[in-house]
Structure 1
Amino acid sequence: MIIRGGRSQSDGSDADSSAPNANGGRTVKLHRRSHRKSRRGCSNCKKARKKCDEVQPTCSNCVRRQLDCDLVHSPTPDAGNSADQFHRSPGVRSGSLRSELMTPGSQASPQSQASACQIPSAILSYEDMEFLHHFSTDSDIGVGDSSEGKRLWQIHMPKIGFAHPFALHLILAFSALHLAQQHPNRRDHLIAEAGRHHTIGLSGTTDALRNLHSGNSSAVYISAMFASFCDLAFGPQTGEYLAFNDRGTEAKWFTFLKGVRSIMESGIPYSFPSATDEGTTANDSSPEFKLRYHPAYTEPFRTLRNYILYTTTANYTAVSTYMDAFELLKDTFDSVYAGLRNPQCENAHFSVLIFRWLYLISDDLAARLQKKERVALIIFAHFAVLFREMESFWFTQGWPTHILHGVYNHLEESDRVHIQWPVDELSLGTSVGIAHEAPNSTPDNYTQQNAGSEFLSSCPVGNGG
């Protein structure tokens, strides 16, 4: 291409970079610098007329603007295009490593291959490798009592994730949230990355739930468990109180718990990692997480029982629902604090016993909590005292007091006297006149407003709860 007087024409030759023109001057041949053109950018960037960096599954512009990016559904770049193989992504100091996250054919069963194909190809950056390394090496991230339990948590769980990528994404999200606690200067970025992996993992888990079978049931179970842990780890969120919310809809965290329950009740075989899976013997003789409180609950529970009977005597359905929940909660307190356990829970860790109450409450009580009926809320306030023990784990910190503030704000003034004992136990004040809480909510760079709704609709067993 030759430039003459602002006009260009082809000289038909590439032999010389310059040549004299008719006026004795010289022309200069200009070569356009090669660059990669792409029409694969997401629709949001196209509408905003912004350059899309095409980082899958969510481009940087959509992460920054908190938009749903449709790039994840775009065709994957050609394998031969080296420019697509390595590129930079936000917050990564070096290049990003692109991985299809597919189980090697020589080791994968047809079930695990189908499971792996249920989510789009994903990009794992070097920072994601940091998340995986942190999950596998940090001694404080898991919930195991013993060294064997932690080893199972940190070795066996990633193995399941390698066979079922949706589970791996939720593991990475959980690890990123733990790192966010340890590195305040990176907190917002790490929470955004956790949100990205959380979204991908939930999408894949939802797809797997629609085709639940013995080959993926264990991975789906673990994914639902990590999804619930992540929802707690994002921190207490304005208007969300674990089992109810300000909006009167089903609480997000309950959605994940129902997912676990639906898998367990589906009749499809599943297994959870045990010490024997790694050739070790469980040893709980030296637990690292011990009970921190020993509340005197006998008299408060007697008072609560009398209140339930007095308030709901005229309504058989209500009194049956509330008394069942009360007896189950009383049994859980006895199991945790008095060592009075039934044979099924004889060797269970206290965290399992605490979550068991939430798992076993009836659909009717869950609905009454959703409606914020006063007796249901008062029972739940007493559960907050038990849930306080879970603050031994980093991902539940702040939730018990957050729950109690939520209950308090939704009770009439005349009913607040019935949560005096929980208020005293959680040291929220000398009287029930506790102040309205200023929640420690998740930063604005990741929102979970509708997280889990599609997940719940895919559960194979109704709306158990």
Structure 2
Amino acid sequence: MPAAKRRSHQKSRLGCKNCKARKIKCDETRPACLNCKRRLEQCDFVSNPGPEPVLSTSGLNMTDLELLHNYTSMTYLTLSENSMIREFYRTTVVQVGVSCEYIMRTILAVSSLHLAHYRPHMVDHYQSVAIVHHQAASQAAIPLIPNATAENGQLLFLFSVLMTYYALGWPRKSNEALLLGDTGFPEWVYLLRGTKGFIDIVGVPSDGPFAPLFKYAISRFMLRDAPEASDSTAHLPLTELESLISQRSCDNDALRHIYTTSITELKKSFGQAQANTTSSYDMIDAFIWVYMVAEDLLPLLRIPTREPVAIFAFFCVLLRKLDGHWWMHGWPQQLIARAYDLLDEEGRLWIDWAVKEVGWIPPSVIDRM
């Protein structure tokens, strides 16, 4: 009997260099494959991002001018609800960018993602341009981070803030893995650890171009300890969560302290959010909690266990207050879905209040069987 012929098939040879080096399948998505996007690595597909930027006869890069115009006329308005901080992003940040290329490139990258969000018919173009600027900025800034000094610390702090907007605003598809970290939690969460590190290096400036941003952040932080912020509708479910965690056997006093402190800080954040009736809820209001737990709780999400995942799920309710912004849209639901997926049945009961507040509908019991 003749041997059966092996079915011929085509082997893709178009994968990116990173995937080939790791010997993993590349989805060949342009302008950057999904594996590279998950790892925030430079994908060699970007070296051929598509159409060249439009140049005038005088040699001006019209694409970058369009991005800068969009940033100074529209994007800056979306980065804060406070008029003073909006002006800081419109003027001071651009002035800094004129003398610091990696800041300017990050500005242009954020602006490009902003345009990609509102011009879906050109999303590939603006996404490609954003990647080029982002990677050029990262190649210049990231090598400076391990040896950050008081001299460049403020620039790197601003870079990390803008990079957070970039990571939040990255276009996401419904059929794509939406959370970028290897454990399932997004890299922008860990970017905020770096932001705290730069503040520790340079301190809080009392004057200079960055002083208004820090002054505003301090004023928002102080609201957390005001008497009117001492209670909220989240306090009872957070107290119940704390009780459930304490009842679970845990011989590690250090971990218990981390969980208790993280919940206490969450109560303050919810209290401040509910008491804040005179101004709009701002990004900094929610992310103060991340700043407060950056050194202790966030590393535990790298190897996710029930307690830190459940606490982080409650944080998603605060993000829900920012969901109207283009750079936050969809994240609360995606994060709560990931937390739900990581937890066992008991842990899912722990976060029932958070799931309902976010407005996410879990899969049915039949679907989970």
Structure 2 length as normaliser, TM-score? 0.73
Q: Distance in 1 between matches of 2:268 and 2:249?
A: 21
Counterpart pick for 1:316 among 253, 266, 277: 253
Task: Specify which structure has the bigger relative contact order, considering alpha-carbon pairs within 8 angstroms and separated by 6 or more residues.
Answer: 1
The 5 A counterparts of 1:14-53 are none
Letter in 1 for 2:51: P
The 5 A counterparts of 1:180-195 are 180-195=116-131
Q: Distance in 2 between matches of 1:175 and 1:384?
A: 25
Partner residue in 1 for 2:20: none
Distance 1:272-1:369 versus aligned 2 partners, 3 A rule: farther
* Alpha-carbon contact 2:76-2:89 (below 8 Å) kept: no
Which structure has the larger Rg over C-alpha atoms?
A: 1
* Alpha-carbon contact 1:387-1:400 (below 8 Å) kept: yes
Counterpart pick for 1:378 among 297, 307, 310: 310
Q: Distance in 1 between matches of 2:367 and 2:130?
A: 32
SS of aligned partner of 1:392: coil
SS of aligned partner of 1:421: helix
| Residue-by-residue CA offset, 1:380-403 (whole Å, 9 max, x unaligned) | 111111111122322011100000
Partner residue in 1 for 2:348: 416
| Residue-by-residue CA offset, 1:79-129 (whole Å, 9 max, x unaligned) | xxxxxxxxxx8253444876xxxxxxxxxxxxxxxxxxxxxxxxx721011
- More helix per residue: 2
Q: CA deviation at 1:192?
A: 1.1
| Residue-by-residue CA offset, 1:135-183 (whole Å, 9 max, x unaligned) | 0111664323344432221121111001110000000000000011121
2:273 aligned with 1:336: yes
Partner residue in 1 for 2:160: 224
Distance 1:433-1:329 versus aligned 2 partners, 3 A rule: farther
- More strand per residue: 1
| Residue-by-residue CA offset, 1:295-342 (whole Å, 9 max, x unaligned) | 8323212211211111145432221111111111111111221359xx
Counterpart pick for 1:178 among 111, 114, 120: 114
Distance 1:70-1:303 versus aligned 2 partners, 3 A rule: closer
Q: Which shifted more, 151-160 or 200-209?
A: 200-209
Q: Distance in 2 between matches of 1:355 and 1:97?
A: 44
Q: What is the aligned residue count?
A: 312
Partner residue in 2 for 1:92: 53
* Alpha-carbon contact 2:55-2:62 (below 8 Å) kept: yes
Letter in 1 for 2:111: S
Q: Distance in 2 between matches of 1:142 and 1:403?
A: 22
Structure 1 length as normaliser, TM-score? 0.59
Q: Distance in 2 between matches of 1:420 and 1:145?
A: 30
* Alpha-carbon contact 2:161-2:195 (below 8 Å) kept: yes
SS of aligned partner of 1:396: coil
* Alpha-carbon contact 2:164-2:191 (below 8 Å) kept: yes
2:330 aligned with 1:398: yes
Task: Calculate the aligned-residue CA RMSD, in Å.
Answer: 3.7
Counterpart pick for 1:150 among 71, 81, 86: 86
Partner residue in 2 for 1:259: 194
Partner residue in 2 for 1:125: 61
Letter in 2 for 1:171: I
The 5 A counterparts of 1:339-350 are 339=276, 350=282
Q: CA deviation at 1:185?
A: 1.1
SS of aligned partner of 1:363: coil
| Residue-by-residue CA offset, 1:263-309 (whole Å, 9 max, x unaligned) | 11124676553569xxxxxxx9xxxxxxxxx9832321221121111
Letter in 2 for 1:262: G
Q: Distance in 2 between matches of 1:422 and 1:415?
A: 12
| Structure 1 runs (4+) greater than 6 angstroms displaced | 346-349
